Amino acid sequence: MFQFIVASGNNGKIREIREMLGDLGQVISQKDANILLEPEEWGSTFKDNALIKAKAVFNALPGNLYSVFVIADDSGICVDALGGEPGVKSARYASTTHRNAEDGANRCKLIIELEKRGVTSSRAQFVACVALVGIGSRGEYVEYVANGVCEGEVINKERGHNGFGYDSMFIPDGFSQTLAELPSEVKNSLSHRYKALLQIRDRLAHA
């Protein structure tokens, strides 16, 4: 069995990762592991930022612990009508600093930006990069990044309560409901993060 330390304080992300990987071992937050650092996400891509977070938390662990992995997710929504924004700035879209903003403030900012352009909806995609960093059962260093994409449409209003981030504004292709209106099992099967975590599971089969 593995132990997974999630390099995040986002309870929604931690819950989704636990649902996906919990059968493979214990999933805890970096706070639960007494790692309180907040690495600055200076990367220009989701992959860059996922690796920055995963490596920072891994390097803070007390020694090289076998079968202990750090998982870091960097994800966001890319809206066609906004030229791909907010993209890597999704978590801090409404912030005036480099720190993350509240989900509600970010959604409000997105609605305002859509309305500035006179659009009520736009093609969009959720993108997730999930980094896995750790020491495998045979003592080898593991560094792997998985990618997942969920295509759909963003709307200029919020609908539903089963989700976090921009879920209540995103309608995945093939559905009329937002991700936040769908049951968890359906939402998870469509999720960009779920798709990336499936690849992580495959990689762990060889760790």
C-beta of residue 202 within 8 angstroms of C-beta of residue 142: no
Q: Could you give the count of Cα atoms lying within 13 Å of 147 in the half-sphere of its Cβ? A: 8
Catalytic residue numbers read 74
More reliable by pLDDT, 164 or 127: 127
Give residue-wise pLDDT tens across range 26-76: 999 999 999 988 888 888 999 999 999 999 999 999 876 788 999 999 999
CA distance 48 to 76: 13
How much is the mean pLDDT over the chain?
Answer: 93
Fold of 2-204: Maf protein (3.90.950)
pLDDT tens, position by position, 106-126:
999 999 999 999 999 999 999
Question: For residue 64, what pLDDT is reported?
Answer: 66
Q: Do you find a cis peptide bond into 86, omega within 30 degrees of 0?
A: yes
Average pLDDT over residues 195-200: 95
Q: What are 162's two structure tokens? A: 């089963």
- Entry pTM: 0.88
CA distance 20 to 188: 9
**Domain map (residue ranges) of the chain:** 2-204
Overall average pLDDT of the 80-105 stretch = 93
pLDDT at 205 over 70: yes
Grade residue 98 by pLDDT with cuts at 50, 70 and 90.
confident
In terms of DSSP H, where are the helices of 4-102?
11-21, 46-59
Q: Which residues contact 96 (CB under 8 A, 6 or more apart)?
A: none
Identify the H or E element spanning 83: none
